[in-house]
Structure 1
């Protein structure tokens, strides 16, 4: 099985389950998990990056957060 086969299987899985995946991504549980992960990632980047990028980090975090969960 080559990489193309794996990619095609992944595409097929996503197509067959897109409604379930969308429902899961916009659930309360996804909101809770995503908030925790995004907060941790943003805090980590802010600690190691210059302070001048903090606003950009928050902007990216907010953009991602809007796509996951239900809030």
Structure 2
């Protein structure tokens, strides 16, 4: 009987620990998701993409600028997902 009580107590402890870990994971996930989708992150990635595309435009002829803009947009859209 004592062994069953100890096993039950251990199982309860494990269940509570798992529930707490899941709760913490969800809170952390929400925080990370929010940070990745924040306006500040968008501004930083836009600035980086603008800098890179402007630099590449200086290296390539004018005929390539439309393609550079297209690729920049695709990358920005992919980062926004």
Higher relative contact order structure (alpha carbons within 8 Å, sequence separation ≥ 6): 1
Q: Work out whether the TM-score is over 0.5.
A: yes
Which 5+ residue runs of structure 2 have no aligned equivalent?
1-27
Which 5+ residue runs of structure 1 have no aligned equivalent?
1-16
Find the structure with the greater CA-based Rg. 2
Q: When the two structures are superposed, what TM-score results if normalisation uses the length of structure 1?
A: 0.59
Q: CA deviation at 1:21?
A: 5.2
* Distance 1:22-1:56 versus aligned 2 partners, 3 A rule: farther
Q: When the two structures are superposed, what TM-score results if normalisation uses the length of structure 2?
A: 0.53
In 2, Cα distance between the equivalents of 1:42 and 1:69?
17
